[in-house]
Structure 1
């Protein structure tokens, strides 16, 4: 049994078929990256897995085993709440904050390197610091499956690397489905990579055909990986070629 299982899925958005007969299986405890160009439908698929895109599903089914948490590109911190209350957001909204939940939030903020910033307001935090708080909030939910929608794409190169490493460390025992358009990020973090591609219909260049999922690419070694190995550089180039080569008319 898989943590996430998608069978014969078809999704339509704004009268356009994004996916048709899509199948995907995510093993327990794996990091799986869905790599694709902007507009191919990656985020829509993630929303469907989270149960937030039900109206567009025309056929098929999605099965998940365990509690789901979401880590998005936008940190979505509430500026009128303290950093601690942002991490305890569920407990805050349900009036279930306790001494224990506060201690757990503080421990998680320490784990993501934010202990020195607890007294700051959210607007005083940098983009990387805000995403660290968002990561702590995700960990606070103690979910089994983490859906990550390009959570590092808005960060500078150094901060991105730090947050990638930290996330891989703190979510090592979770099942993670990572949406990204960056081949390097997919190679550094994932156990398996799938490429989500589409190409223009040759009869009507204004209409894109449904996206197709590649066969899985299995990566060896422990993540996060350093990309100094020649084989990983070659794989990165291969992924770029696959992303570009089958969709040249979209450039």
Structure 2
């Protein structure tokens, strides 16, 4: 990914990895627009980073997504990078009764939200040079954490979607990236002080290094052991499978 001269929209940019990514990209001279539900958080980030802009977004609401997408295209026609970062993580009880509110909110935020957000902007992005759609998944997409099984399942679903979308956009100018963090010191599960979690600034520094390469998967060193769990031949196998499927079912 080209790390300068972009216009970048980041969901979940009011805290954690989203804020840190936004600030790192802002410092490199990109125009950055962050989004989230908590206005106070957005205002704190933009106040600390003059020139950065913010827009309120409820990623679980299709109407909010459509309104924000139209506003972005109208106000920032040069937009060429979308980073789907918004997500929630809660402990659950996959061995027993699942709280339906937890289930639907996690699915809506972590899976439906980024799919809808990309869908709302993809035709615009196809017209731009150096266009990027990026998704923040997790190493738990590859090695699920059983005490947060629903979250892990949503990240596995997102990884699967990324593979499909990357394949289907392979003849366009849009690259599809997946950022798969390990455990990082953020607000998720109150991990800010967790000694075993990766410091946020270290994660961002390593991520930016990989982001500036031609890699499709943005993995810091500590994430690679989890990614390797599913086998190094996954991409080739998935692409070969889909090439054969296209021959049978048609498509591009």
TM-score (normalizing by structure 2): 0.36
- Name the structure with the higher strand share: 1
Higher radius of gyration, 1 or 2:
1
- Name the structure with the higher helix share: 2
TM-score (normalizing by structure 1): 0.37
